[in-house]
């Protein structure tokens, strides 16, 4: 297993595009999630220019335990950047035909897919590690009255975040295996949510099928989005789901398995 991961990393670590994209991902992820409070302060200062006041400390954006869901939901937006790296990594293998040579050299097709999946796992773990660090540092800075038990409330979102990233990277990998061209794959990847939304809107028109609305949660991209619900409505006095739903986790894990299995199936049957 480790050997396969090393092989895939060896392909990447001398590839400048890999470092640029991953670097941009972690830097923008880090800075943007960590600087939310500064942005709030800036907004507050603008409010003061107009004579009204906004007490930023009354919005517990960075307070334990809210901070977990807030930052993790926001960080989820960046996974597209990481998934583009995954697409480039797999479509390069088709474009340069190195996939063919890897198999000739004695990799099995299963090992090849596994090496890519392992890299996806590593990238997901690194994202989680990054988030854990940012949450701990900013949470400890901004939480006014620290209650230690509050810190642990919401750590479940870290697990949900891990599944969210890994599921989406698995989806990107599968798309790359099927489409094989980097540009087209990236466009499809970016439009995926839109395409799924169009399908859902047409399938679940209230007038037609009022009773099957619950099926929506089983759609692949919807299932990934459902892992970490949008938290910010709570600051407008609305009820939100502030926990990770077991059903959502189960569905997302099911899709993750299928994405990777489909990649393998496609590769197994193909002449390369």
Partner 1 sequence: METVLSIQKLTKNFGKLCAVNQLDLEVKRGQVFGMLGPNGSGKTTTLGMLMGVTNPSSGSFSWFGEPSTHLTRKKIGAVLEHPIFYPYLSGQKNLELNAMIKGANPANIVKVLDIVELSARKDDKYRTYSLGMKQRLAIASALVSDPIILILDEPTNGLDPMGIAEIREIVKRIAADGKTIILASHLLDEVQKVCTHFAVLRRGKLMHSGPVDEVGKGEETVEVMAYHDDLPVLLQEFIGSATIKKENGIFQVMMKDGFHSQDLNKFLFEKGIITSHLITKKKTLEKQFLEILAEAH
Q: Which of 100, 133, 209, 247 binds partner 1 (CB under 8 A)?
A: 100
* Interior/surface letters 89-108, b for 16+ CB within 10 angstroms, e for the rest: bbbbbbeeeebeebeeeebe
**Which of 41, 63, 111, 180 lies at the binding interface for partner 1 (CB under 8 A)?**
111
Contact status: 1 vs partner 1 (CB under 8 A) = no
96 belongs to the binding site for partner 1 (CB under 8 A): yes
Please select the residue that binds partner 1; options are 49, 55, 106, 239, rule is CB under 8 A.
106
Q: Is residue 264 involved in binding partner 1 (CB under 8 A)?
A: no
Is-contact 68 157, C-beta < 8 A? yes
Q: Does 205 contact partner 1 by CB under 8 A? A: no
Using CB under 8 A as the binding rule, whether residue 6 contacts partner 1 is answered as yes
Within 8 A by CB and 6+ apart from 21, the residues are 81, 82, 84, 85, 88
Q: Which of 1, 2, 14, 58 binds partner 1 (CB under 8 A)?
A: 14
> Which region, judged by CB under 8 A, interacts with partner 1, from 9-17, 67-75, 139-147, 230-238?
9-17
Burial 216-253 (b: 16+ CB within 10 A, else e): eeebbbbbbbbbbbebeebeeeeeeeeebeeebbebbe
Q: Which of residues 113 and 248 has its CB atom nearest to partner 1 in the complex?
A: 113
HSE, CB side, 13 Å, CA atoms: give it for residue 51: 0
Cβ-based nearer residue to partner 1, 100 or 205: 100
Binding partner 1 by CB under 8 A: which of 1, 3, 149, 210?
3
Q: Count CA atoms within 13 Å of residue 127 on its CB side.
A: 36
Answer whether 104's CB lies under 8 Å from 195's CB: no
Q: Pick the closer one to partner 1 by CB: 79 or 116.
A: 116
Task: Indicate whether 271 belongs to the interface with partner 1 (CB under 8 A).
Answer: yes
16 to 75, contacts with partner 1 by CB under 8 A? 16
Is residue 156 within the footprint of partner 1 (CB under 8 A)?
no
Task: Mention every residue, 6+ apart, whose C-beta is less than 8 A from residue 114.
Answer: 1, 4
- Using CB atoms within 10 A of its CB, is residue 25 exposed (0-12), middle (13-18) or buried (19+)? buried
> Is-contact 81 25, C-beta < 8 A?
yes
Rank residues 17 and 35 by Cβ distance to partner 1 and give the closer one: 17
Residue closer to partner 1, measured from CB, 11 or 234 = 11
- Whichever of 42 and 96 has its CB closer to partner 1, that residue is 96
Binding site for partner 1 (CB under 8 A): 3, 6-7, 10-11, 14-16, 92, 96-98, 100-108, 111, 269, 271-272
């Amino acid at each position: 297993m480790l050997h396969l991961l090393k092989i895939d990393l060896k392909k990447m670590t001398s590839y400048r595009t890999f470092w640029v994209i991953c670097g941009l991902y972690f830097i923008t992820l880090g800075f943007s999630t960590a600087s939310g409070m500064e942005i709030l302060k800036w907004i507050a200062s603008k409010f003061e220019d107009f004579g009204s006041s906004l007490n930023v400390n009354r919005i517990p954006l960075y307070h334990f335990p809210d901070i977990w869901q807030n930052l993790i939901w926001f960080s989820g937006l960046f996974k597209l950047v990481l998934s583009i790296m995954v697409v480039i990594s797999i479509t390069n293998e088709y474009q340069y035909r190195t996939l063919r040579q890897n198999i000739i050299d004695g990799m099995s097709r299963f090992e090849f897919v596994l090496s890519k999946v392992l890299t996806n796992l590593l990238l997901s773990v690194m994202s989680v590690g990054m988030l854990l660090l940012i949450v701990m540092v900013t949470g400890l800075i901004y939480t006014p009255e620290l209650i230690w038990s509050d810190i642990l409330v919401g750590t479940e979102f870290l697990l949900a975040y891990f599944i969210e990233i890994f599921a989406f990277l698995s989806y990107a990998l599968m798309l790359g295996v099927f489409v094989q061209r980097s540009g087209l794959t990236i466009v499809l990847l970016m439009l995926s949510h839109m395409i799924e939304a169009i399908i859902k809107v047409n399938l679940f028109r209230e007038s037609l099928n009022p009773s099957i609305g619950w099926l929506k949660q089983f759609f692949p991209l919807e299932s990934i989005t459902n892992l970490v619900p949008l938290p910010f409505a709570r600051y407008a006095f609305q009820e939100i789901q502030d926990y990770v739903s077991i059903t959502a986790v189960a569905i997302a894990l099911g899709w993750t398995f299928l994405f990777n299995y489909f990649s393998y199936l496609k590769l197994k049957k193909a002449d390369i």
